[in-house]
């Protein structure tokens, strides 16, 4: 069974296009110079609606993590156990993702990670690895 595809609406189109190229981008507000993720139609700081995107390093730190041992649905059954984490990117943006490439029980708050990309059928997702 394939995993459900994320909603690729107009606000997130640039993000998903970049991930397809194995690049990580976040929204940038040219008015207040703030970065934000997840993609939205407006800046959450100043409400400007003409945001652009900037490429970020993909390096960050685990802010919080949990090991998922019961799949949220049949499409995720072959992945358990897996780590669902909040990652603080070095550029100051927090994003939710998975941590892969290690024993799930070894992931700790404060671990340094970097982005990796997994190509699925119609989309490429961002994951992190130590």
Instruction: State how far the Cα of 42 lies from the Cα of 32, in Å rounded to an integer.
Output: 12
User: What is the reported pLDDT for 1?
Assistant: 58
Tens place of pLDDT for every residue, the chain, 130 residues?
577 777 778 999 999 999 999 999 999 999 999 999 999 999 999 999 999 999 999 999 999 999 999 999 998 999 999 999 999 999 999 999 999 999 999 999 999 999 999 998 888 999 999 9
Both tokens of 3, joined, read 């995993």
Q: What is the DSSP letter of 28?
A: E
| 22 in Cβ contact with 125 (< 8 Å) | no
Starting at the edge strand found earlier in the chain, the sheet holding 52-55 runs: 35-36, 25-28, 52-55
Beta strands in the chain, from DSSP E residues, in sequence order: 25-28, 35-36, 52-55, 59-68, 82-89, 94-99, 112-119, 124-129
Both tokens of 2, joined, read 């394939």
């Amino acid at each position: 069974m394939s995993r459900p595809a994320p909603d690729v609406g107009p606000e997130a189109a640039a993000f998903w296009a970049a991930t397809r190229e194995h690049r990580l981008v976040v929204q940038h507000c040219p008015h207040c110079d703030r970065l934000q993720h997840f993609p939205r139609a407006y800046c959450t700081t100043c409400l400007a609606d003409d945001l652009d995107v900037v490429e970020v390093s993909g390096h960050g730190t685990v802010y919080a993590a949990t090991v998922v041992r019961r799949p949220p649905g049949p499409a995720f059954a072959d992945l358990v156990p897996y780590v669902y984490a909040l990652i603080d990117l070095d550029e100051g943006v927090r994003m939710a993702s998975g941590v892969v490439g290690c024993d799930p029980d070894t992931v700790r708050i404060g671990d340094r990670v970097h982005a990796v990309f997994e190509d699925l059928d119609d989309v490429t997702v961002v994951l992190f690895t130590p």
